[in-house]
Amino acid sequence: MAAPHPPIRYQICARHPEAHLFEVSVRVEAPDPAGQTFSVPAWIPGSYMIRDFARHIVRISARAGRRTIGIEKLDKHTWRAAPCRGPLTVVCEIYAWDLSVRGAHLDTTHGFFNGTCVFLRVHGRAESPCLVEIAAPRGSAYRRWRVATSLPRAGARRHGFGSYSAENYDALIDHPVEMGEYSLVSFVARGVVHEIAISGRHDADLERLARDLKRVTEQHIDFFGARPPVRYYLFLVTAVGDGYGGLEHRASTALLCSRDDLPQRGAETQGERYLTFLGLASHEYFHTWNVKRIKPAAFTPYDLTRENYTRQLWAFEGITSYYDDLALVRCGLLSREQYLKALARTLTAVQRSNGRTKQTVAESSFDAWVKFYRQDENAPNAIVSYYAKGSLIALALDLTVRKATRGRKSLDDIMRVLWQQHGRSGRGVGETEIEALAEQVCGVRLGRFFARALYSTEELPLPALLHEFGIKATLGPAESASDRGGHTPEPSGKNAPPRAVLGVRTEVVGGDLKLAQVLDQGSAQAAGLSAGDSLVALNGIRVTTTNLDRLLARQRPGAVVRIHAFRRDELIERRVRLLAAPADTYALTLDERAPAARKRLRDAWISSPAPVRNRR
Ligand SMILES: [Zn+2]
């Protein structure tokens, strides 16, 4: 057995908050005698896009003792220090001005970083333990700052600056860190301390938040079985005016939300925005098992220098998306009606993207790096979301298994076996292993199901499946441009004449109404209008940022209208034959007249305890 490596020592200091600069050093006791190489990750696990974090390194230097050592850049994110006897220290100045869950951000109000943005990887030393010293910025203005992270403490006081540790580099970069004057609330779920740290100004009802997240976390812990995989868990929340995002980590999650998404003090009921926030927190928490521990073989280990291809993101993101809201209904935070509304909106979103007829979810997953994460104006026509369609595949799989086994088996059983066989051991999941394992666990033949769902663009038989569970699906045209689905049309609306539509999605840029996306088979596309065109007039009447729907409401499908628009500052005129709004909007309702056997299947699937009131 080789002697254990001495730890690699990192130090990060919020050196110049006013200039958004962290100073980060790494010290290697016994560097490679041939010249030690270092690199910065090109991407961050969980967000499948090459981001080249090394581009934020402003300065880099190396020294051995007091002697300056040459450091040569080998490629966009790799350096090699000249051969020297240790200890070797490399110091970087890193610009941090990306307030996303994937980045690093520092100003005079707070600091946040992911290790992928700031910590150099010491080549050949992936398994060495790491020690990291987190230092406060100098000055009395920062004396109330404290630290929130799931990194294990190695001398630092709770929430204090000081020493933290990580078992290896992979762990080091999987614990984001917040520093500043955040608000904090905690709760215990199944013996595990959970904390919620919120930075940014807000007036959230913290007790309510803790109470609700306790239910969510207990639901997930119980789902997978008695012993939680973590001893401590941290929700790191950044509240801003307008934002949304989440990134999963092994013992924490970074969430970005609008301050209005957080629960309001004293309110008896909480709006849809808060339910969306709970769904996001539930999603990232489920990832603690599914993707952080049950991982695709392609990610074990991660290659942080380049794209890591897998066709399985439908399972890691889709199944997680399926369980995020399902957990909320199962623990009583969503009513069944609210759950079905959310589900109908997912069905609607997939139905509205013609990309679903061109790209399979396996392809969407494989190409996530260049398509899903780099969407352009043609995205709805070209790609399918492995999140949205993936969650519908999870639903279809769950219902198929429940139906075939008369409720004896379900996707829940498949997930628990995945946890036992892969999550606990860390053995990666091979590209088609979930498919084989699902058949094995459930004793149901699923070859045709997976061939159709994952590797073809055929529609999923969801309305028929839902019917077997006492749920009625109806598909009709959207009632307005803002109709995202999920509500049953007014009875009076049934006889209303069909709406005429352009087949576009619009956005307001400056004072202009621009075409953001021009949809396949729509009237705008047929007439030669393009994404980016600024609408000027319809039948000689000025189009403003708010009146397009009203102008169209006076037209009938089949009518030909004159549209003026600017493209590259040039006025163009097109005659557009309007089409009827397509039937692309789902509503789902509980069918109370369904036979008892179907209702029993339904209750076993979306049973929920008594609805939760905001008890004081
Ligand atoms: Zn996710």
Rounded CA-CA distance 395/179 in Å is 40
The predicted model scores a pTM of 0.96
Cis peptide before 301 (omega within 30 of 0): yes
Cis peptide before 87 (omega within 30 of 0): yes
Question: Distance, CA 170 to ligand 1 centroid (Å)?
Answer: 19
For residue 202, give every residue at least 6 positions away whose Cβ sits within 8 Å of its Cβ, in sequence order, or none. 183, 239, 259, 262
Question: Distance, CA 299 to ligand 1 centroid (Å)?
Answer: 15
Q: Average pLDDT for residues 243-256, to the nearest whole number?
A: 97
- Are the C-beta atoms of residues 21 and 104 closer than 8 Å to each other? no
Query: How high is the pLDDT of residue 443?
Result: 97
Amino acid 370 reads V
Torsion sign (Cα): 596, 600, 606, 609:
positive
Question: Distance, CA 279 to ligand 1 centroid (Å)?
Answer: 11
How high is the mean pLDDT of the chain? Answer: 95
Check whether 477 has a pLDDT greater than 80.
yes
Rounded CA-CA distance 51/40 in Å is 11
Question: Distance, CA 246 to ligand 1 centroid (Å)?
Answer: 8
Question: Distance, CA 139 to ligand 1 centroid (Å)?
Answer: 39
Q: Average pLDDT for residues 541-555, to the nearest whole number?
A: 96
Question: Distance, CA 46 to ligand 1 centroid (Å)?
Answer: 7
Question: pLDDT by residue (tens digit) across 22-31?
Answer: 999 999 999 9
Reported confidence tier of residue 266, pLDDT bands at 50, 70, 90: confident
Question: Distance, CA 76 to ligand 1 centroid (Å)?
Answer: 28
CB atoms within 10 A of CB 616: 6
Question: Distance, CA 49 to ligand 1 centroid (Å)?
Answer: 14
Percentage of the chain lying above the pLDDT 90 cut: 93
Question: Distance, CA 365 to ligand 1 centroid (Å)?
Answer: 13
**DSSP-H helix ranges across 122-205:** 169-172
Question: Distance, CA 125 to ligand 1 centroid (Å)?
Answer: 29
The DSSP annotation for 91-110 comes to EEEEE-B--STTSEEE-SSE
Q: Provide the pairing of β-strand 110-113 with 162-166.
A: unpaired
Rounded CA-CA distance 39/137 in Å is 26
Check whether 608 has a pLDDT greater than 90.
no
Q: Considering only CA atoms, which of 116, 121, 412, 434 is closest in space to residue 295? A: 434
Query: What SS3 string covers 376-410?
Result: CCCHHHHCCCCCHHHHHHHHHHHHHHHHHCCCCCC
Q: Considering only CA atoms, which of 478, 323, 287, 327 is closest in space to residue 395? A: 323
Question: Distance, CA 285 to ligand 1 centroid (Å)?
Answer: 9
Question: Distance, CA 319 to ligand 1 centroid (Å)?
Answer: 9
Q: Report angle CA 609, 612, 613 to the nearest 5 degrees.
A: 155
Question: Distance, CA 198 to ligand 1 centroid (Å)?
Answer: 20
Question: Distance, CA 166 to ligand 1 centroid (Å)?
Answer: 24
Rounded CA-CA distance 568/566 in Å is 6
Question: Distance, CA 317 to ligand 1 centroid (Å)?
Answer: 5
Question: Distance, CA 248 to ligand 1 centroid (Å)?
Answer: 7
Check whether 612 has a pLDDT greater than 50.
no
Q: Average pLDDT for residues 324-338, to the nearest whole number?
A: 96
